[in-house]
Amino acid sequence: MKNKDVLENNTSCDKYRPPKEYTHIQEFIDNLPYILMIVIGGTINVIGFKLSVFGLISAGVYIIYGIVGALWIILFVCPYCHFFNTRACPCGYGQIAAKFREKNSENKFAEKFKIHIPVIVPLWIIPVIEGIIFLTIDFDRLLFIIMVAFIVNSFIILPLLARIYGCGHCPQKSDCPWMVKEKETSQVAILVKN
């Protein structure tokens, strides 16, 4: 499907606004916090294991897991997105997915998202657990700074940038379980307030 087709062929309920085309720089910006999370998470292993061979191996395994996690999403979530194989995808994954998979039913996007996102959740948890263990056994100021950088990037910057920049501009956000959850939470807060 070409971008022109997406722009002209909105769904019957017209819930998708005409998407903008994202540049490669914008896609890089959207992916940068994830990339940093993987690099910093790997660094926690290297520093925590005192630059040992095991530390390098465990960092390599974590980085490979991060890459495989992104590919997992590309292969098992992106084919269900309305913006599959278009420049309207904020992260650019939809174009990569088109090289490996055929387009699937958009009606299953939320279902596939809920099923496959948990595959990458440990990427946020593993470095924190390892870092706490390393710091408890032998406090290291450099490791502490790297841990703070990981936490700020992974739990503040990445979600904030995703919600404001990537997901916030995603034309399919009304179908995304992550964005819908935020909307439902906001509505509950308003009801409680009143």
Is the predicted pLDDT of residue 152 greater than 70, yes or no? yes
The pLDDT value recorded for residue 92 is: 86
pLDDT tens digit sequence for 1-31 = 444 444 444 443 334 444 578 888 888 888 9
> Over the Cα atoms of the chain, what is R_g?
19
- pLDDT at residue 85, rounded to an integer: 87
